[in-house]
A and B are shown apart, each in its own frame.
Chain A
Amino acid sequence: MTAAPYEAEDIGMRSGRAAVAAVAALGVAAFVVVCVADGTDRPAGWVLALIALAAAIPVVLGLLLAWRRPDLMVGALLAAFSTVPLAEFAVHAWGATETTAHPWPGAHVAAVIDVSGWMWFFLPPAALAAVFPGGPVLSRRRRWLLFGWPVVLAAFAFGVALDPSTYQEGGGTVPGRAPAGVPEAVGTAIGLLALAGFAALVIGSAAAVVARYRHGDTRLRRQIRWLALSAFLLPLALLTTWFCYLLGARSAAQAVVVAGLLVAYFGMPVGTAVAVLRHDLYDIDRLLSRTVSYTVLTAALSVVFATVVFTAGLVLGRGSAPAVALATLCCAVVFGRIRRRIQAVVDRRFDRAGGQAVAEVAGFVDAVRDGRVAPEQIESALRASVGDPDLRVAYPLPNAEGGVFWLDGAGDRVPPPAEPSREIRSGGRMLAVVGSGRRTAVRPAMLAAVLREAHLPLELARSRIEVRSALAETEASRARLVRAGYEERRRLERDLHDGAQQRLVAVGLSLRLAQRQLAPGPAYAMLGDAVAALQEAVAELRRISQGVRPSGLDDGLPAALRTLVRASPVPIELRVTTDRVQDAVATTAYYVAAEAVANALKHAGSQRLLIEVSRDGRTLSVSVSDDGCGGASIVPGRGLGGLADRVSASGGTLHVLSQPGAGTTVKALLPCAS
């Protein structure tokens, strides 16, 4: 949804600025006519002033829009909200001179046209509704919604001109009578056809805006909501009016049509302004704030310049060149300093939310730089700054299959952000995606400005999350390797017991049976020796398999440790205060104890040992203390170093406390799920 919906159609009208200027000039000309024409019902001076003021607003708005988007006609159509009524007033005023002492040339024609002039008032709202906010409506299929107007207006004026009831003789207002020689039916027919065309234009325009609203996305809907409402009221008012005429209620009909037009004339420019200012249409707020800030800046610099010239002039004499130079210098010095300040103030005034949001994010960036907050908190900072609790930041990371998976700031897996979303890229690499919530979806320009500011923390957060994720994966794979190793040892131990050992016993039994068939003699003795050798082999296998995996582990850690304690030549006290833990944890704990005991016996010359196993929540603690000579340390690649690796691969930590002469305590803390 990055492409603006109003860029779809090129209607060949590139110069919206010229159009709006022309329409505005026309409006000024019409206003001049209204002021100058000395007709019968010339408005009072204050009414003229009010009209000028009211007319100025759509013109200014139209000029602003045209300046920003010269390729669109909306500016010109907004200006038409002033120009068309003014033109009608001008025609009326022109025609009103007919009954004065000094009628203007063509006053009669103007008076006739004035009779059909009410229809003109419908042109600006209907045309704007057909076009707003940009152009797709002007597909070839619907182009007649604009170009039909001159035809319909001209035809209606012609029909009215031929209608006898227009003239005083026929009960109308225009002096004189209808042109002779034309059958009355012709004028009526032309008038009726024009009316039908007019109804089609108004209803078609309203239908166009309603259709666009229905098919548009959320953002477009927000932009045209109010405008659509007023546009929809227009044909409704018109139909109601005609219905009233049919019923003969003239005054009611006029009240309805005036109300409908008022709503359209008030509602549509307001709706346009709302769409423009609140919903980021045409990015007008930045233009507005720049214009205002430079105006203020110019004024301030003028004051500085004038003050300096005046003050210096008092000292150096009037019109002195040094005074002007000094003033220029002062202005140059002041310019840089106050420009930013004024810009900030104006930004806050005109684009309050946007300016503040950017400032808040800038503050967050400073806090990240100072190390006061973690860059991963950018999501909550963005949410707070743009006031959108639904905004999401997700970071795509490559997975093993060549695709991506998504993590949030906390490193948890999340689904990819829903549209509308924005990609944050750096050097062609996608760093993060920001999914808009309801509020930012309708203010893309503000979001873009905020995200420009937030690029640094987003990039930082992405790097940190990436590193953490990779580390977690490495740790997990190391733990998997350890578990696989334990599993392999268990399998090997089973194979030794159930395979080799069984077989040796079976062979021994056969030999024994054979031996019993013999009488004592050399062969008998040889078989006896063979069986004895087999028995030694079985005992040897038993020792090996015990080393591969202590069989006691099948009965839990305490049982395995009891076996370990019994095999020791020196006294070992065993304090176990835990029940069963998972096999992998128990195996690691067992090896810690076994290795520490072996070290104590081999290197430290210990006479007494203590093995303690306890569990605190999700941590299993195994410690082995001896009374030996101490001085042990973890050296990579050596006994305790290998043990430390094994423990850390299981996600735990190994601590060795060993003062020379004060014994050694080896303690492992192992995570275990409950």
Chain B
Amino acid sequence: MRIVIGEDSAIVREGMAKLLVDAGHDIVAKAGDAEAVVAAVERWDPDLLITDIRMPPTMTDDGARAARTLRAQRPTLPIVLLSQHVETTHSLELVTTGSFGYLLKDRVLDVEDFLDALTRVAAGGSALDPEVVASLVAPTRATDPLASLTERELEVLSLLAQGRSNAAIARQLWTTRRTIETHVRHVFAKLGLLDSDSDSRRVLAVLVYLRNRGGR
């Protein structure tokens, strides 16, 4: 894959680049601030953009804003946002559009999972950090529709929300794909959602629902 990295800390940037090169990827550009990220993507048209959220010039959410700008220009550009902490403001909006990942930065250290997430996003899928998902899935209301879900169904939903396929979930939970499909159907039924055969559509539906119960 041809990848552009946006990261203001030089050692993290270089380490990440080396790791990706090791894994057989091609780093076409490394950017230290939001403007450079936009310029690099426009110039190299990469297969994937990995960028930190907190970057110069304002050290707030420049990376996320650059991603949003680029996404508006190139709806199919796969993007993975890296964050120092769990937050949902920037992630939810983009995650519903597919080809998007949102990970805590130290997730890079789980190299295989990280590379797996990159591949998934580049292929049009989604990747949401487990901690973000956990915070979204935590029951927060007495009238919580999730309260009617079984523990197993919640587990499946949580994995689903991370962007994993039914097959991957089945592997992880040591069960068959058919069982997972049943769980998913039940989840959707209990949440009052129409079934759909597209993975990303299902993730999207889950996340729209999660966003709605996130307190807005």
Contact A510-B15, Cβ < 8 Å, known A497-B85, A498-B59, A608-B142: yes
Tell me whether A572 and B106 are in contact (CB under 8 A): no
Tell me whether A571 and B140 are in contact (CB under 8 A): yes
Task: Tell me what chain A mostly uses at the interface: helix, strand, loop, or mixed.
Answer: helix
Binary B-proximity of A529-572 (CB < 8 A = 1, otherwise 0): 00100110011001001100001101100110111011111011
A574 within 8 A of B: yes
Contact A498-B12, Cβ < 8 Å, known A509-B108, A571-B140, A572-B140: no
Binary A-proximity of B43-81 (CB < 8 A = 1, otherwise 0): 000000000001000011100000000000000000000
Q: Which residue of A lies closest to B143 (CB)?
A: A571
Residues of A contacting B54 with CB < 8 Å? Answer: 497-498
Task: Tell me what chain B mostly uses at the interface: helix, strand, loop, or mixed.
Answer: loop
Residues of A contacting B60 with CB < 8 Å? Answer: 554
A342 within 8 A of B: no
Tell me whether B89 and A502 are in contact (CB under 8 A): no
Tell me whether B141 and A539 are in contact (CB under 8 A): no
Contact of A566 among B11, B108, B140, B142 (CB under 8 A): B140
Give the complex CA separation of A193 and B81 in angstroms: 113
Tell me whether A551 and B22 are in contact (CB under 8 A): no
Tell me whether B109 and A512 are in contact (CB under 8 A): yes
Tell me whether B87 and A551 are in contact (CB under 8 A): yes
Q: How large is the interface on A (under 10, 10 to 19, 20 to 34, 35 or more residues)?
A: 35 or more
Contact A566-B109, Cβ < 8 Å, known A497-B54, A506-B12, A608-B142: no
Q: Which residue of B lies closest to A511 (CB)?
A: B109
Tell me whether B214 and A566 are in contact (CB under 8 A): yes
Residues of B contacting A558 with CB < 8 Å? Answer: 215-216
Contact A559-B89, Cβ < 8 Å, known A506-B9, A509-B16, A567-B138: yes
Tell me whether B135 and A567 are in contact (CB under 8 A): yes
Tell me whether A562 and B88 are in contact (CB under 8 A): yes
Residues of A contacting B215 with CB < 8 Å? Answer: 558, 561-562, 565-566, 574, 576
Scoring B59, B138, B144 by chain A CB atoms within 10 A of each residue's CB, the highest score goes to B138
B139 within 8 A of A: yes
B168 within 8 A of A: no
Contact of A501 among B18, B84, B111, B135 (CB under 8 A): B84
B208 within 8 A of A: no
CB distance from A559 to the nearest CB of B (A): 5
Give the complex CA separation of A527 and B111 in angstroms: 13
Residues of A contacting B141 with CB < 8 Å? Answer: 571-573
Contact A502-B138, Cβ < 8 Å, known A551-B85, A555-B89: no
Tell me whether A513 and B84 are in contact (CB under 8 A): no
B27 within 8 A of A: no
Contact A508-B109, Cβ < 8 Å, known A498-B59, A571-B139, A571-B144: yes
B105 within 8 A of A: yes
Tell me whether B22 and A516 are in contact (CB under 8 A): yes
Q: Which of B74-105 contact A (CB under 8 A)?
A: 84-89, 104-105
Q: Which of A479-511 contact B (CB under 8 A)?
A: 494, 497-498, 501-506, 508-510
Give the complex CA separation of A555 and B91 in angstroms: 13
Tell me whether B85 and A566 are in contact (CB under 8 A): no
Residues of B contacting A502 with CB < 8 Å? Answer: 9, 11-12, 84, 105
Residues of A contacting B87 with CB < 8 Å? Answer: 551-552, 555, 559, 563
Give the complex CA separation of A535 and B22 in angstroms: 21
B136 within 8 A of A: yes
Give the complex CA separation of A463 and B11 in angstroms: 64
Contact A531-B109, Cβ < 8 Å, known A502-B12, A563-B135, A571-B142: yes
Q: Which residue of B lies closest to A513 (CB)?
A: B18
Tell me whether A505 and B106 are in contact (CB under 8 A): yes
B19 within 8 A of A: yes
Residues of B contacting A510 with CB < 8 Å? Answer: 11, 15
Residues of B contacting A561 with CB < 8 Å? Answer: 215
Contact of B12 among A509, A542, A555, A565 (CB under 8 A): A509
CB distance from B116 to the nearest CB of A (A): 15
Residues of A contacting B111 with CB < 8 Å? Answer: 512, 516
**10 pairs of A and B residues whose beta carbons are closest in the complex:** A509-B15, A506-B11, A562-B215, A538-B106, A508-B109, A497-B84, A566-B135, A571-B141, A502-B9, A555-B89
Given contacts A509-B15, A534-B106, A562-B215, 12 further A-B contacts (CB under 8 A): A497-B85, A501-B106, A509-B11, A509-B108, A534-B109, A539-B106, A542-B85, A546-B85, A562-B88, A562-B214, A566-B214, A572-B141
- Which B residues form the contact surface with A (CB < 8 A)? 9, 11-12, 15-16, 18-19, 22, 54, 59-61, 84-89, 104-106, 108-111, 135-136, 138-142, 144, 214-216
- 20 A–B contacts, CB within 8 A, in A order: A498-B84, A501-B106, A502-B11, A502-B84, A505-B12, A509-B11, A509-B12, A509-B19, A509-B108, A512-B15, A513-B19, A513-B22, A531-B109, A535-B106, A559-B89, A562-B88, A562-B216, A566-B136, A566-B214, A572-B141
